[in-house]
A and B are shown apart, each in its own frame.
Chain A
Amino acid sequence: QQQVKQSPQSLIVQKGGISIINCAYENTAFDYFPWYQQFPGKGPALLIAIRPDVSEKKEGRFTISFNKSAKQFSLHIMDSQPGDSATYFCAAKEAGTASKLTFGTGTRLQVTL
């Protein structure tokens, strides 16, 4: 049973465009929602994270939108750049656990010139 569903599987966006990746979850005990970015040949690295008491968090060109009632959250990359081309994973952590994350299946983003 996949606890965090991520879409789309792959995404092609033109330079300067907006990239949007969506995730949905069922477990209402999740209390921390990070996004990880992975470049080829590298391990995933934390990009941005949000807790369910806020609906949006922005860091530079990256924004997480969180809809608690719909149990959905999304990553928006504004002014997408070729250097943003990577695989993005959403994740969720259950309350009462420290850093035990449940990951989505990943979205491969390609930003074209």
Chain B
Amino acid sequence: ETGVTQTPRHLVMGMTNKKSLKCEQHLGHNAMYWYKQSAKKPLELMFVYNFKEQTENNSVPSRFSPECPNSSHLFLHLHTLQPEDSALYLCASSRGGTSTGELFFGEGSRLTVL
């Protein structure tokens, strides 16, 4: 148990569906991240939030829409996805601010786009 919980663990959706991934951290951290993990590729940073403010958008297509209502919760809203978006989506948190901190990852949401 890392203190970062992701739901759902598995999601299958059609290209026209709208769904959301949820992440919650119980570590008192102030920074939260979305990463995409595909086979044989490096983990790809998608978004970073520091103290609820988005500080990084790594050229992610607009069909992925993040939301961070508070420092403990992070969402990734999905719509009109493509089959190549099928991957494991990992949420992570860290202390945030300017401190170099360890990333604590959740177990991921496995997304399949049909």
Chain A residues near B (Cβ < 8 Å): 2, 4, 9, 32, 34, 36, 41-46, 49, 89, 93, 98-106
Shortest C-beta distance, A54 to chain B (Å), equals: 15
Provide a sorted-by-A list of 26 A–B residue pairs whose CB atoms are within 8 angstroms. Answer: A4-B42, A32-B100, A36-B103, A41-B107, A42-B107, A43-B2, A44-B43, A44-B90, A44-B103, A49-B102, A89-B43, A98-B50, A98-B94, A98-B96, A98-B99, A98-B100, A99-B33, A99-B95, A99-B101, A99-B103, A100-B48, A101-B43, A102-B42, A103-B42, A105-B42, A106-B40
Given contacts A43-B2, A43-B4, A99-B100, list 18 more A-B pairs with CB under 8 A: A4-B42, A9-B40, A42-B107, A43-B90, A43-B92, A44-B43, A44-B90, A46-B102, A98-B96, A98-B99, A98-B100, A99-B33, A99-B101, A100-B48, A101-B43, A101-B103, A102-B45, A105-B41
Total cross-chain contacts (CB, 8 A): 63
**B45 and A100 within 8 A (CB):** yes
Residue of B nearest to A91 (CB): B43
Chain B residues near A (Cβ < 8 Å): 2, 4, 31, 33, 40-43, 45, 48, 50, 56, 90, 92, 94-108
